[in-house]
Every structure is written in structure tokens, then in C-alpha cells.
Chains A and B, each alone.
Chain A
Amino acid sequence: MRQEWPGDAPGIAFIDLADAGQPVREVRLTYGPGTDLVAVVDNESVERLIPALAAGCGDYLFFPINSDELGLKWRKHVLGEGGTRARRPGGLAGSIQLEFPSRVGFVREVVAEVVDACERLAFSGSRATLNLRVAVGEALSNAILYGNQEDPRKLVRVAAALRPGSAEVTVTDEGPGFDPHAILDPTRPENRERSHGRGLFLLRSLTDEVRFNDRGNSITLTLRE
């Protein structure tokens, strides 16, 4: 049962994502918009983080909680110091903005959010469920594994614009960037037994357009219906 919060709503509320009995949307309604919701996640519940950010959590902490980080969240959300580290999707209709820490466990959920939005707003069918799915997954994997070297303190930023018939997704990491021309063709016989180097190739094969920024740490892929 949803209960109204008596008196002034708190500035910050922590939600343990391991506890499935605390749906984020309910907590959001209980406290109202004045409360910043911070999700607490562990390895088991990590797949619930992206949906939780989509449902109204503005930030997150990893369990076990370290007191410095807790202090940081407190100052940020209660005292209003520091910048935003996690942003929920939303804003303009047809756009997704997400930031998440560089852990491969997030890839599945983020891809699902983007493909789902594409099916609702841009196009459906195998262009969404195969082409976009693989391409976005590869862009995220590259950003996490190679760009940010799996350092969870570094963030991956996803911005997607979905209009009828077209999806444009930009994935940015905090790494030094790379030279996309330096990638070997994985389909050549001498490269076929290499265990790496297929991501960018698949991404290019499955999209209509791929662009990099000059630094090489941000990729924009476009798919049309």
C-alpha cells in the first residue's frame, strides 16, 4: 500500500534494489518530486539499476557502501553540492539520456532500454531487434572495455534520438580515444582466428552511418528503417 509521507519530504531517500518489494515508482510517488532517490545496488541486483534510473532514481551507490561515497551523495543531494553523476532518461519525447558506470553487467539493460524506445518511437522488426541491438551493444562494450578500461569510476554516456523511421545513438566514454582506421578487417583469413576485433566491424556492417568525434572517444551510429 502506498502511504503519503507525513510532513516534509526528505531531501534524499535510499532504495535497496535487492529488495524487490520497494518499487521505485511507488517510492517516487510517496515522497514527491522534492526527494532525490538514490538506488543501492549489489552484484545480484545490478540488472535492476537501469530500469530504476528510468523509473525515477537520480543516482546510485554500490554495496558495500563506503562512508566517503555516502558522504558525497549526502552533500550532493541534501546540500546541493557537486555535479550530477547519474541522469535519468526522459526530457524531450523521443530522446534518451543515460550515464552509467563502466561495468559490463549494464550493457544488457541499456541496450534493452534503447531498443524498446526504438520500437515505440522509430521502427520495429529486425532492424531494431538485430541491427540496432547489436550495434548499440558493441558501442557500449567498446566504451566500457577499451575506452574506460572497465574502471567503474568512469562513466559511459548514451544519448539517443528516436524519430519515426530513424534512430541515432551516441555513446561516449572517458578514455583517450582511438583511431577507428587502425582496426584490422576481422573477416580476412589471417584475422579470422583472432578473439578480438569484431565489434566495430559488426557495428559498421549493421548500421547506415557511423561517425566518430575527433578525439575518438565518442561514436554516433544512425539506423534508418
Chain B
Amino acid sequence: MFSIIEMNGITIVEVGGELIVGNRQDLKDTVLERLESGDRRFLIDFSSSSYIDSSGLGVLVSLSKKIRESGGALRLAGLNEDLRTLFELTKLDTLFQIADTRARAIGEF
């Protein structure tokens, strides 16, 4: 469901399928593990993801806070139209740095 790539010192997490109540803990554990082992720049790429629910949004909010508190940065990329709608409805588009594409997000670190 989640795969990790490292590129130019950025930890890229690809979310495949859905980020929902049933798998949100896996994403949280995956990212926190990397944060503990010293990674600081994170990009979560939703290009292969079709859907996120409020639990998934909640995990992103809590990860963003933890990463920031450790002196790191989190960016998001590749949200489809439905995902964007959900970020906009909850006003989370104002909380996250969101780029259209992975390449653009990498360039903005």
C-alpha cells in the first residue's frame, strides 16, 4: 500500500489505493520510523491514490506537526480532483504545502 523511495535526500512515500481508517496506522508507523532514523524531508505522493477519508487527513495533520517539531518539512503532491475537494472542504489546503506533481514538489524543498 505504501512504498518508499529516496531521492536527493528526500523521502518519498507513495500512497497506492486509499488512505483510510483501515490503513492509516501503517502510513503513520512508516513515516515515524523514518523520522526517528533521521530523515527530515518528506514528500507524500498521492498520484496513485484515489481516496482519503477524515482519518487519513488526521494522520497527515499529525505527521506534519511531528515532522515540523523535529525540524523537518512535509510536502504533498499528486492529489486528484476528489482529493483536492476534500482538502479544500476541510481547509487543509491552507495547512499543507501541496504541489501538482512530484517533480514540482521536489523542486520546492
Residues on A lying within 8 angstroms of B by beta carbon are 104-105, 107-108, 126, 129-130, 133-134, 137-138, 141, 144-145, 186-187, 192-196, 198-199, 201-202, 205-206
Contacts and interface: CB of A to CB of B under 8 A. Distances in A.
Nearest to A142: B54
Given A105-B22, A134-B51, A138-B54, 12 more contacts: A104-B22, A108-B22, A126-B82, A130-B82, A137-B53, A144-B21, A145-B55, A186-B91, A192-B94, A193-B65, A199-B54, A202-B89
A128 B107 CA distance: 36
Given A107-B21, A137-B20, A194 B51 contact: no
Contacts of B21: 104, 107, 137, 141, 144-145
Contacts of B54: 138, 141, 198-199, 201-202
Contacts of B95: 192-193
Given A107-B20, A107-B21, A193-B61, A202 B91 contact: no
A201 B88 CA distance: 12
Chain B interface helix/strand/loop/mixed:
helix
A206 B65 CA distance: 27
A69 B86 CA distance: 42
5 contacts: A107-B21, A107-B22, A137-B20, A138-B53, A144-B21
B76 to A, nearest CB: 15
Given A105-B22, A107-B22, A202-B89, A195 B82 contact: no
A138 B22 CA distance: 12
A202 B86 contact: yes
A196 B57 CA distance: 9
A201 to B, nearest CB: 7
Interface in B35-58: 51, 53-55, 57-58
Given A192-B92, A196-B58, A198-B54, A134 B86 contact: yes
